[in-house]
Amino acid sequence: MVHELNQSWSRYVIHAEVYPLPLLEKAQIPEEIIPLRLSGDDAIKATIQALCQFNWTAQQHVATVMRLPGVIVLDKAIQYRFDALNEAKSSLQALMATHYKPGSRARITQRLFKGVSMLQLYRHIFAFDEPINKILFSWAGRTHSCKKLTEIQVVELLERSRFTVPLTHSYDEWQNIIDMEISHLAYSPSNSHYRLHRPIAPHPRVMIYHEREHQHYEKHDAMLHANLPIFTYVPGGSSLPEIKALKPWLKDQHRLIRKDKLKSEVVVEPLHLYRLTE
């Protein structure tokens, strides 16, 4: 389906620009991320490759993903083709979620799809047939994923983590930490609340602004992950959307802490597991 889609959209391109990001060799936040800029045929070739790039490359850490933000402007409305592919991706993801539990899913998918990054496989391609006025790229630089856990879920998490030993600990040290924290749970107040608060690596995002004349126009129409180029349709004779390109990400410029941060104490730092204190 991806190859057929590539053969289709590539015939209707009237403008293309993408911002390749360097692949990360380590699963840690770099000091800076400097995007390149490709346009025209180079951008089209890079996009064709990115849409079907499901496998990790030799220099890519398996906990990271390949990202190619950008914009492809078409003179033909073919959003339905992208919708069909996205539906197939969602169906596969739902099938895996139905049959395999979270603790074992990663190991099973690697046996089924050896060398494939499931994040790269599952992610959707955003396409629009309605007019767009402005496309603005920026960075989400200090975001976290938060998930509330019950005490039973905390115990299950700790048990699943026994054989994923952090580089900062030996095997025996890690087992002692897990045993100790499971024991501590028995003495925790019954109304204790736990959460996973994992930092998310900086990632590009894109703001979409539709034309005011469009019946579904909103001032801020959508903010999307810019993992892959977005596709938009411009009717013949209409002007291209205004495009604000992706700028470099610098770590020192993204150190602000949210003022509404909840008070919590660390349970197991390498797992990003916390207990709320208020």
- Using a 10 angstrom Cβ sphere, with 0-12 exposed, 13-18 middle and 19 or more buried, the burial of residue 70 is buried
Structure-model confidence comparison of residues 20 and 150, the more confident one: 20
Which of 72-76, 108-112, 125-129, 226-230 has the least mean pLDDT?
108-112
User: What's the pTM?
Assistant: 0.73
| Nearest-angstrom CA–CA distance, 212 and 130 | 11
What pLDDT does 173 receive? 80
What pLDDT does 10 receive? 96
Tens digit of each residue's pLDDT (9 = 90 or more) over 77-105: 999 999 999 999 999 999 988 887 766 77
pLDDT band at residue 187 under the 50/70/90 scheme: low
What pLDDT does 122 receive? 93
Q: Which two tokens stand for residue 52?
A: 């079907």
Q: Which two tokens stand for residue 206?
A: 């894109």
User: What are the φ/ψ torsions at residue 70 (nearest 5 degrees)?
Assistant: 160, -175
| Nearest-angstrom CA–CA distance, 64 and 117 | 9
Tens digit of each residue's pLDDT (9 = 90 or more) over 112-163: 898 899 899 999 999 999 888 899 999 986 655 566 777 777 777 778 777 7
Which residues on neighbouring strands pair with residue 196, listed in sequence order? 147, 273
| Nearest-angstrom CA–CA distance, 46 and 54 | 14
Range of the domain at 112: 2-253+262-276
Which of 15-29, 61-75, 97-111, 212-226 has the least mean pLDDT?
212-226
What pLDDT does 227 receive? 93
| Nearest-angstrom CA–CA distance, 153 and 161 | 12
CATH number where 7 lies = 3.50.14.10
What pLDDT does 260 receive? 45
- What's the mean pLDDT when you consider all of the chain? 82
Structure-model confidence comparison of residues 147 and 203, the more confident one: 203
Q: Which residues contact 265 (CB under 8 A, 6 or more apart)?
A: 274, 275, 277
Q: Which of 37-51, 207-221, 258-272 has the highest mean pLDDT?
A: 37-51
Which residues on neighbouring strands pair with residue 209, listed in sequence order? 134
- Please state the domain count of the chain: 1
User: What are the φ/ψ torsions at residue 57 (nearest 5 degrees)?
Assistant: -90, 170
